[in-house]
Amino acid sequence: MHITNEYLASTFEAVQKRNSNEPEFLQAVFEVFHSLQPVAEKKPRLAKEGVFERLAEPERMISFRVPWVDDQGKVQVNRGYRVQFSSAIGPYKGGLRFHPSVNSSIVKFLGFEQIFKNSLTGLPMGGGKGGADFDPRGRSDGEVMRFCQSFMNEMYRHLGPNTDVPAGDIGVGGREIGYLYGQYKKLTGRFEGAITGKGLTYGGSQVRTQATGYGLCYFTEEMLRKMKGISMEGMTAVVSGSGNVALYAIEKAQEMGVRVIAASDSNGYIVDEKGIDFQLLRRLKEEERLRISAYADQVPGAQYFPGRDIWSIKCDLALPCATQNELRLEDAQKLVKNGVIAVAEGSNMSSTPETIEYLQQNGVLFAPSKAANAGGVAVSGLEMSQNASHAIWGFDKVDRQLAKIMVGIFHSALDASAQYGVEGDLVAGANIAGFAKVANAMLWQGIV
């Protein structure tokens, strides 16, 4: 794949030079610039006003020391980040990731993609992301609390309901959000919607926990219906990961008549041909915080395999829901050989560029993460609305809005792909549709 548009090619070269040690960030920018070529050609004003150059450079990026004391009394130091990428259409919005692999490249790729994802939801949210190279795995609740408090001791000054609103991501779930919010409130003295994903008793929204996984299924169903005239019902699916996104994708897919036969963690995967027992898996992962192998120990007939060969399992539907670049070319080749119908990304940038190209060339429906996993941040946006108006909405109301937003995102992406001569390419369509609103806002607001 090459960028042939001269202007975008030279702009990408400059981005490469400036960020030469950030491969994930460059991968994300390349994909977007590649998709935007027909837009740049049709609208020369975008280049003239430096829209692409400006978008590829964060408005602000902070990195900070996070010191804390472990249970042995030893002082630990981690590095925290927040990238405030774009505020063109609303306050910075995006999750926090706590994982040992977090670095500036990871945070920037996520923050960059968040700009377009948030725009696709139709809600007024800019793009941001943050996190730390802290590993909550194996840490006690007390250690996690002290880490979160120290993280917030720096972060709070950069946040606010109209400034920057973080939420969860890998390694940041209900427990971490609770500690982060408690410290935010302590430091500012304000009870306000400066974080989303909060607990239901203190300002959280119904459906936020389920939103990304449910939204992924709503998107996938609409894609199958409109592009192939079929439904998910009766299909077999493989889901990678077993965290927040994977769990609720499994639950909703099963509700929609799909048999989900495999799930994983970073050590291995389980196969349960009868269909995964969602309630059991949820309890093992969310409440007991065990490894996924515990599922096979408890379910007769289920098997555990170490390693990452989950994509060699025959399925109609593949839902990667763990981490970036988890779906590689060799995985895609196995999926295609086994007759996969659709791949929908729950994790951010699940697939390498070669994977996407291969799947699309082989007639597999491909739903890119920016569009397909936008349900989480969409319900975060609804949480912000509820907080701002001191309202509490019911489960069904939020769920209906989520479904409507996901169907809307699918159609925005499909329509944009048709309008720019790449009909059915949802990668290009999502990038173009997400970009349109942000670029328009930037043009109106001048060079800032």
Known catalytic residues are 129
Q: Which residues contact 64 (CB under 8 A, 6 or more apart)?
A: 79, 80, 81, 154, 155
Among 148-156, 251-259, 298-306, 345-353, the segment contacting ligand NDP (CB under 6 A): 345-353
Phi, psi values for residue 266, rounded to 5°: -75, -5
C-alpha distances in angstroms, 212 versus 1, 111, 186, 390?
A: 30, 17, 30, 24
Q: What is the Cα–Cα distance from 362 to 357, expressed in whole angstroms?
A: 9
CB 168 within 8 A of CB 159: no
The SS3 assignment for 5 reads coil
DSSP state of 431: H
243 touching ligand NDP, by CB under 6 A: yes
Site pattern 391..410 for ligand 2IT (x: CB under 6 A): --------------------
119 touching ligand NDP, by CB under 6 A: no
171 touching ligand 2IT, by CB under 6 A: no
244 touching ligand NDP, by CB under 6 A: yes
Nearer to ligand NDP (CB atom), residue 51 or residue 253 = 253
DSSP state of 422: -
Site pattern 310..329 for ligand NDP (x: CB under 6 A): -----------xxx------
Among 8-16, 18-26, 237-245, 310-318, the segment contacting ligand NDP (CB under 6 A): 237-245
Site pattern 91..120 for ligand 2IT (x: CB under 6 A): --xxx---------------------x---
196 touching ligand 2IT, by CB under 6 A: yes
DSSP for 308-340, please give it.
SGGGGS--SEEE--S-TT-B-HHHHHHHHHTT-
Nearest alpha-carbon partner for 319 in 386, 268, 249: 249
Near ligand 2IT in 315-334, by CB under 6 A: none
Q: How far is the CB of 379 from ligand 2IT (least distance, A)?
A: 7
Q: What is the Cα–Cα distance from 131 to 81, expressed in whole angstroms?
A: 5
CB atoms within 10 A of CB 247: 24
With CB under 6 A, what is the number of residues at the site for ligand NDP? 26
215 touching ligand 2IT, by CB under 6 A: no
Q: Of ligand NDP, ligand 2IT, none, which one sits near residue 93, judging by CB under 5 to 8 A according to partner kind?
A: ligand 2IT
> What's the CA dihedral at 375, 377, 380, 381 to 10 degrees?
-100
In the complex, which residue's CB is closest to ligand NDP? 243
Q: Of ligand NDP, ligand 2IT, none, which one sits near residue 323, judging by CB under 5 to 8 A according to partner kind?
A: ligand NDP
Q: Of ligand 2IT, ligand NDP, none, which one sits near residue 241, judging by CB under 5 to 8 A according to partner kind?
A: ligand NDP
Site pattern 350..389 for ligand 2IT (x: CB under 6 A): --------------------------xx--x---------
* The residue to which tokens 């939020």 are assigned: 398
In the complex, which residue's CB is closest to ligand 2IT? 95
The SS3 assignment for 66 reads strand
Nearer to ligand NDP (CB atom), residue 3 or residue 398 = 398
169 touching ligand 2IT, by CB under 6 A: yes
Query: Strand ranges (DSSP E) for 15-149?
Result: 60-69, 75-86, 92-98, 127-132
Q: What is the Cα–Cα distance from 421 to 201, expressed in whole angstroms?
A: 48
Alpha carbon of residue 217 to chain centroid: 14
Near ligand NDP in 163-192, by CB under 6 A: 168-171, 173
212 touching ligand NDP, by CB under 6 A: yes
Counting Cβ atoms within 10 Å, is residue 385 exposed (0-12), middle (13-18) or buried (19+)?
middle
Among 88-96, 181-189, 258-266, 333-341, the segment contacting ligand 2IT (CB under 6 A): 88-96
Counting Cβ atoms within 10 Å, is residue 77 exposed (0-12), middle (13-18) or buried (19+)?
exposed
348 touching ligand 2IT, by CB under 6 A: yes
Q: What is the Cα–Cα distance from 109 to 128, expressed in whole angstroms?
A: 10
Q: How far is the CB of 328 from ligand NDP (least distance, A)?
A: 12
Nearest alpha-carbon partner for 392 in 178, 206, 198, 220: 206
Q: Of ligand NDP, ligand 2IT, none, which one sits near residue 170, judging by CB under 5 to 8 A according to partner kind?
A: ligand NDP
Q: Which residues contact 164 (CB under 8 A, 6 or more apart)?
A: 82, 84, 91, 92, 93, 128, 158, 194
203 touching ligand 2IT, by CB under 6 A: no
Q: What is the Cα–Cα distance from 114 to 163, expressed in whole angstroms?
A: 16
265 touching ligand NDP, by CB under 6 A: yes
Q: Note the residues at the interface with ligand 2IT (CB under 6 A).
A: 93-95, 117, 167, 169, 196, 348, 376-377, 380
Interface ranges with ligand NDP (CB under 6 A): 95, 99, 101, 168-171, 173, 212, 241-246, 265-267, 321-323, 346-348, 373, 376
